[in-house]
Amino acid sequence: MSTRLATGGRLTDRTKQMKFRFNGQQMRGVEGDTLASALLANGQLMMGRSFKYHRPRGPVASGSEEPNALVNLGQGARFEPNQRATTTELFDGLVAASQNHWPSLQFDVGAINTHLSRFLPAGFYYKMFIHPRPLWKHVYEPFIRRSAGLGAAPDAETVDADTYEHFYTFTDVLVLGGGVAGLQAALTAARSGAQVLLLEQNAHWGGRTPVDGGEIDGKPAEQWIKDTVQALEAMGNVTLRSRTMGAGVYDHGYVLGYERLTDHAPETPGPRHRLWRIRAQQIVTATGAIERPLSFAGNDVPGVLLASAIRDYVVNYGVSIGDRTVVVTNNDDAYRTAICLHGHGLNVPVIIDARMQGGGALMAQAEALGIRVLKGKAIAKVKGTRKVTAVEICDQAGEGAVLETIPCDAVAMSGGWSPVVHLWSHCGGKLSWDEGNAFFRPDLSRAPTSHDGAPFVIPAGSANGYIQLKDTLADATTAGSSAATAAGHQPKVGTLPQVAPREEAAMLPVWLMPQGANVKLRSKAWLDFQNDVKVSDIQLAAQEGYESVEHAKRYTTLGMATDQGKLSNINGLATLSAALGEAIPSVGTTTFRPPYTPISMGSIAGQARGDIFQPVRETPLHGWHEAHGVHWEPVGQWRRPYSFVQQDETVEQSVNREVKAARDSLGLLDASTLGKIVVKGPDAGKFLDMLYTNMMSTLPVGKCRYGLMCNENGFLMDDGVVARMSDDTWLCHTTTGGAERIHAHMEEWLQTEWWDWQVYCANVTEQYAQIAVVGPNARKLLEKLGGMDVSRETLPFMQWAAGTLGGFPVRIFRISFSGELSYEIAVPASQGLALWERLHAEGAEWNATPYGTEALHILRAEKGFIMIGDETDGTVIPQDLGLGWAISKKKADYIGKRAQARSHMTDPTRWQLVGLETVDGSVLPDGALAVASGTNANGQRHTQGRVTSTYHSPTLNRGIAMGLVLNGPDRMGEVLEFTKLDGTTIPTKIVNAVFLDPEGEKQNV
């Protein structure tokens, strides 16, 4: 059983006790513990169940590479799933629960899967659930969804109680990793005078060197680390941040750092996480190395850990995994674990070394301590289910015949070390295979390159494949010096840190233990603990033709999720290459993608939440609307009134009231959001003729014309009224959502195609408030304000005039989107509210009624006017909408003209716009389809039309709709069947889209 030792734990302070809860049980830890070390100290070795087979799992590692010990952390608004116990610092009152089991961690029904594992090989889901098709929706998918995922999803309605922020910074040299290599590289670079930023993901500096021991410059490594950190802190050009991970390296020296400020002390004020957005000239990746597991049967049983992790728990936290630890290795480093355990009074019954000749000086040291060493041997199988009870020993060269069974309660395994190359690889750094060490290391000749074509990432220390302390520090010095030089600084010549060389015997690549393991053993030899991928799965994938490493990964899920190849990568690749009979480098690696370990969604969002998630655009009348019962509708970034709801009124009733007011007497609309773009210059007319389908150059000064704008693909993209201001100036109105887009569209053509044309355009949308005065009494109101002649004779339909109306400097456009007598009045934005209030005051005698977007929609639909985004969806051309009259036949060219000449665009069977009336007067569902006879290849009904706009018309007191229908205009009076959501259909008659006043008499008065 795992327990707290009587003494030790260099990172902990035993005088500071802490309470925490795991699965509802009260436990105790000490300051400096991680959740994992505290759980182990409480004898809690089992921390979760595996993803697929629900096998009992304990921690394998002690750091961020941990695949198993993922827990649900926190409660309520601070609940988060899949948090690694090994990197979660303990605090008083922490609450955690294990994942992926039901009903309990000890007894889990899903564990039946492990007995069914023969029937659940790689690709099982793909093969099993494909037939019969109907079962997918009703049986397979619900089942898979229920069993998918590890942790519980946070409650969708709960708002994260913490705050997060983004932080931007620039630096000459960025060092990622604060182990001895990172410290040395940072120091070397900083001495040149370069700005240096050093990030370390853990709370402590120095990485794992203090655990592994050794002397630097004649002092214990831990002291050297302390001195170096102090030296760095004293330098003005160095910034150090612990608890900050280099999450990803991107183009041109862009790096994301992820700082965890209050995870270890949740009551501290301030943001919980900070996302560092860094631009670095040079990046040193001193990310260290990760130990590899060995592949033997039962290597996932709780109590089997990486040798380095067992050493970490003892040295850093004073916690032992078991009393009797068997060490199994293919290299010298694991002997350190045996020696360390022995030094702490713990029993190591045997060291199983796969190498026939065994190890070097460390082996001699272990043997001198009286530890039994077996050479050329292997573990055939680990015994035990919820914890290790014994190991069976066999010859590495054989097939697994058991020579001896040794009782034990822990196994320390080491398959060698792999440099952490993730950050080197994120932006394109390539790798080369190191035959001697059996790992991929950065290929310095193929580094990630920046804007100038020069490398901008330099690996350092063990991340660069230099595992021995002496080599690590020498390489880090070179890296720091190179980074400073590349960033334009002159490195100082200094002395290398002095480290006594250590002789270690060569490691032996061992990809399967024993090498000839039979299928039964191979099916219990795990490669990827988190995703439950075994040696046999990779072999099956290869056998079934998944020869590309990227395919094999996706077929088996090897290295997916949070693992990202940290533990599983090399063993998996080696297994695949062996199965394919190819060399490891020719099989290659999968792609390393950021982030290195998962970062919180909150940190990505940063401050962008709630009111500042995105800016809200307000018209000059916004405040008035808020004070008058507005029911808002978001339109792009604008808020527009949907309707103004009075007391004792539903939203629907308010809309009907507003429509009737505009039709019968006087309505007022805030049209300020309408896009307004001034186009000016000697070539402005020519330019607008290219932009619009109709002719704008011939528009006389003082007149207005409705225009259509298409994209080069021929599809209708915007519409609006164009007014000619003067000889060389036009004012183009666009849709509310279209102003920025259309302005950009104009700029693009002017700057990149017709750059010799003399035209300027300016988006003046926000410079004016615009108010539509609508209804039979509109003229009377304007006349009452006085100052301008707005008579039919002086200001007829589709003309505009400038002047002073009731003391306001205005432009009045006699245009109508409602079919009523209508004036749109533009006034400088600062005077918008005053004019609006004046119109209401003076219009009271005609019951002046503000109306919103829904009334606007109904008013236009009753008149058969199209709305961009309703009648158009990016596949509709003006010809579909009966707008052929607005397409100039005289012009040689306009944007979209060539496209509209294509055969599909001129196809007479394109659906055409018509009006639709249900026979029973009800309102058609939005988007309803008109069914035709017969079915298509998928068994779906053929269709012959669809609804584009549908409303209840208060004026006609019935449902009205517009839609696109096959040969529609030629089928007036015909009754079609339109679908409803319940599967039934509604008989609907094709009618003229102009439901009201087809002669236009109401607006032309």
Partner 1 sequence: MLILECPYCGVHAEETELHGGGEAHLTRHGPESSDQDFEGYLFQRENPRGVHFERWRHVHGCGKWFHAARCTATLEVFGTYSAQTSEPPQHIRDRISAKRPGWSWRELA
- Residues near partner 1 (CB under 8 A) are 250-252, 254, 279, 427-428, 449-453, 712-713, 744, 747-748, 751-753, 755, 892-893, 897-899, 901-902
CB atoms within 10 A of CB 957: 9
Is 270 or 428 the residue whose CB approaches partner 1 more closely?
A: 428
Q: How far is the CB of 675 from partner 1 (least distance, A)?
A: 17
Q: How far is the CB of 691 from partner 1 (least distance, A)?
A: 14
Is 859 or 887 the residue whose CB approaches partner 1 more closely?
A: 887
Q: How far is the CB of 448 from partner 1 (least distance, A)?
A: 8
Q: How far is the CB of 450 from partner 1 (least distance, A)?
A: 7
Give me the residue label for tokens 């200094």: 494
* H helix or E strand, kind and range, residue 721: strand 716-726
Q: How far is the CB of 337 from partner 1 (least distance, A)?
A: 43
List the strands of the sheet with 716-726, edge to edge: 704-710, 716-726, 729-734, 675-680, 760-763
Q: How far is the CB of 4 from partner 1 (least distance, A)?
A: 47
Q: How far is the CB of 734 from partner 1 (least distance, A)?
A: 18
| Phi, psi angles (nearest 5°) of residue 949 | -145, 140
Is 265 or 901 the residue whose CB approaches partner 1 more closely?
A: 901
Q: How far is the CB of 252 from partner 1 (least distance, A)?
A: 5
Is 304 or 690 the residue whose CB approaches partner 1 more closely?
A: 690
- The sign one gets for the Cα dihedral 152, 154, 155, 161 is positive
Q: How far, CA to CA in Å, does 209 sit from each of 111, 286, 444, 770?
A: 39, 13, 25, 71
Is 748 or 837 the residue whose CB approaches partner 1 more closely?
A: 748
Q: How far is the CB of 433 from partner 1 (least distance, A)?
A: 22
Q: How far is the CB of 722 from partner 1 (least distance, A)?
A: 22
What does the block give as tokens for 561? 């999720």
What does the block give as tokens for 187? 């120091």
b/e map of 172-190 (b: 16 or more CB within 10 Å)? bbbbbbbbbbbbbbbbbbb
Asked if 192 contacts 490 with a C-beta cutoff of 8 angstroms, the reply is yes
Is 236 or 453 the residue whose CB approaches partner 1 more closely?
A: 453
Q: How far is the CB of 430 from partner 1 (least distance, A)?
A: 12
Angle, CA 913 vertex, CA 910 and CA 915 arms, to 5°: 145
E strands, 40-160, are 48-49, 56-57, 70-73, 80-84, 94-98
Is 632 or 757 the residue whose CB approaches partner 1 more closely?
A: 757
Is 166 or 628 the residue whose CB approaches partner 1 more closely?
A: 166
E strands, 807-956, are 808-813, 822-828, 849-851, 911-918, 929-935, 941-953
Give me the residue label for tokens 């998962």: 598
Is 237 or 900 the residue whose CB approaches partner 1 more closely?
A: 900
Cα–Cα distance between 111 and 50 in angstroms, integer?
9
Q: How far is the CB of 901 from partner 1 (least distance, A)?
A: 7
Within 152-220, residue ranges assigned H as helices are 180-190, 209-212
* DSSP class per residue in 388-424: --EEEEEETTSS----EEEE-SEEEEE--EEE--HHH
Q: Cβ-count burial of 55 within 10 angstroms (0-12 exposed, 13-18 middle, 19+ buried)?
A: buried
Q: Count how many Cα atoms sit within 13 Å of the Cα of residue 981 in the half-sphere of its side chain.
A: 5
Q: How far is the CB of 123 from partner 1 (least distance, A)?
A: 32
Is 867 or 905 the residue whose CB approaches partner 1 more closely?
A: 905
Is 325 or 450 the residue whose CB approaches partner 1 more closely?
A: 450
Asked if 675 contacts 739 with a C-beta cutoff of 8 angstroms, the reply is yes
Is 411 or 447 the residue whose CB approaches partner 1 more closely?
A: 447
Is 572 or 896 the residue whose CB approaches partner 1 more closely?
A: 896
Cα–Cα distance between 269 and 792 in angstroms, integer?
68
Cα–Cα distance between 421 and 755 in angstroms, integer?
48
Bridge partner residues of 377 (DSSP): 395
